[in-house]
Structure 1
Amino acid sequence: MKLVKGIAIGAVALSLAACDQSMYGGGGGISKQNVGTVGGAVAGGLAGSQIGGGSGRLWATGAGVLLGALLGSEIGKSLDRADHAYMGQTTYNALETGRSGQPVQWRNPDSGHYGTVTPQTAYQQGNLQCREYSQTVYIDGRSQQAYGTACRQPDGSWQIQN
């Protein structure tokens, strides 16, 4: 379960990072697949580091990095900038005003890719309002699912917690 949450962090981070068009601009040479690979590797490594203990934790971290890089690369390769923008905006809206358990759908009419974000009941964690959520992305008829938790920061933004 922690690995799936880690992958969710990568997916949401990628979707929100995609809003910064400079990452994908012409001169930078950074491809969405590279961003996906790096983001997935980081998220997978973080998730893997939460599993096991001692040398088992090291192996889990390594496996998380590899699995996260592979999944992140595939998602990054498949989703374009507009897909990420639709998914990022929908994630924000679902966390902000979505009804618990009610999926909020996004669709990119140009690529045909679509997905849902389903927020859960908000709760207090310390002085922050938090929500768990699930995301499902459909690419060429295949679905990818991820889960995570986000908490509203004092400035009003949502930050992924796990």
Structure 2
Amino acid sequence: MKPLKKFAVLGLVCTTGMGAGCTAMSQNEWLNQENVGTIIGAAAGVLVGSQIGGGNGRTAAMIAGALAGGMLGKTIGSKLDQRDRDALAAQTQSVLDTAQDGQVTTWTSTHSDAQARIVPVSTEKQERQVSIKRLPTIQAVPSMALLNKPYQAVKSANIRNAPDQSADKVGGLAVGTRFTAIGRTDNNWIMVGRKGVSVGYVYAPLVEPFKAPIAQAKPAQAPASDLDTLDVASAKQKGIDLDAIDLDATPVEEMLTAQTTCRTVNYSISSKSGNDQQSVKACQAADGAWELI
């Protein structure tokens, strides 16, 4: 976490039932490194949980706060200092995002004798209740499969307020427009995300996962438009129709059933304080962040 977030978390801990305040921490036997790690981790999860951006913008913060501090605070928190917990959280994020089941990843502290062996042992799809944000004019769906991936329009595509060809058109995407695909509905429509909020649906055959171009000596063309960075005026200049979408409306937040990816990860930790082993399970939320369950 960035220093500002660390201070914000510490402030939250100090104002939620501590009574004696931060000045008495070092004198309170209950507030040892192990327990403070648990409290700070849980508070961090709450704090960063409200800071949702597009795609997986809060993944690192969620892991640093909840994984390294909260869920593992009673074990790893008693053996690692804050720098090591943050570094291990960053390594865990990489493992969850890219490592195959059974693949061993090792981590070594840059300033202590701490080491870790991280192994994802299983990956599965689960149906879970997840929180989705949508504009008030966009209809809800009862369920979908989470994607949390960058997509782009391969044909001109209408954005509709419901996953149906007869639903009202609320916008349109020009060819090459990038956006975050929040999920896929049961009838093959893609929920279009802008800064973590659903602004409508496009028919799946009109879009595809975005593939970053191979690096070239000099750019062949201007980069494609990204829905997250556009307002109504600049979008119109690029042939993207957002006129009927009230981008300033307060989003509606609700729970729906979604098929999401869950991974079980085994840790083996060694440090001067001893050795420890633990397994955790993490599932992806609607914005792509990994959350421990």
Q: TM-score, normalised by structure 1?
A: 0.57
Amino acid at match of 1:124: K
Q: Is the 8 A contact 1:148 1:160 kept in 2?
A: yes
Secondary structure of the corresponding residue to residue 83 of structure 2 = helix
Q: Is the 8 A contact 1:19 1:85 kept in 2?
A: no
Secondary structure of the corresponding residue to residue 79 of structure 1 = coil
Shift of 1:19: 10
Shift of 1:145: 0.5
Q: Report the equivalent of 1:60.
A: none
Q: Report the equivalent of 1:114.
A: 115
Shift of 1:38: 4.9
Q: Report the equivalent of 1:35.
A: 36
Q: Could you give the per-residue CA deviations for residues 15-57 of structure 1, whole angstroms, max 9, x where no partner exists?
A: x8x99422468xx6366433236589xxxxxxxxxxxxxxxxx
Q: Could you give the per-residue CA deviations for residues 79-136 of structure 1, whole angstroms, max 9, x where no partner exists?
A: 1111101111111111111111112111112112111211123211021111111111
Which one of 136, 140, 149 corresponds to residue 281 of structure 2? Answer: 149
Aligned equivalents of 1:94 and 1:79: distance in 2? 19
Q: Report the equivalent of 1:83.
A: 84
- What are structure 1's unaligned runs of at least 5 residues? 1-15, 41-70
Shift of 1:75: 4.0
Q: Is the 8 A contact 2:119 2:267 kept in 1?
A: yes
- What are structure 2's unaligned runs of at least 5 residues? 15-21, 26-31, 42-72, 128-258
RMSD of Structure 2 on Structure 1 (CA): 3.1
Q: Is the 8 A contact 1:138 1:144 kept in 2?
A: yes
Q: Which has the higher strand share?
A: 2
Q: Report the equivalent of 1:66.
A: none
Q: Which has the higher helix share?
A: 1
1:1-162 to 2 correspondences below 5 Å: 20-22=5-7, 23=9, 29=22, 32-36=33-37, 38=39, 72=74, 75-126=76-127, 127-140=259-272, 142-161=274-293
Secondary structure of the corresponding residue to residue 122 of structure 2 = coil
Inter-CA distance 106–20: structure 2 relative to 1 (3 Å threshold): farther
Identity value in percent? 25
Inter-CA distance 77–149: structure 2 relative to 1 (3 Å threshold): closer
Aligned equivalents of 1:160 and 1:39: distance in 2? 15
Q: TM-score, normalised by structure 2?
A: 0.33
Q: Is the 8 A contact 2:285 2:291 kept in 1?
A: yes
Amino acid at match of 1:152: Q
Aligned equivalents of 1:19 and 1:104: distance in 2? 30
Q: Is the 8 A contact 2:262 2:282 kept in 1?
A: yes
Q: Report the equivalent of 2:186.
A: none
Shift of 1:156: 0.6
Inter-CA distance 33–141: structure 2 relative to 1 (3 Å threshold): closer
Aligned equivalents of 2:266 and 2:285: distance in 1? 20
> Larger C-alpha radius of gyration, 1 or 2?
2
Q: Report the equivalent of 2:249.
A: none
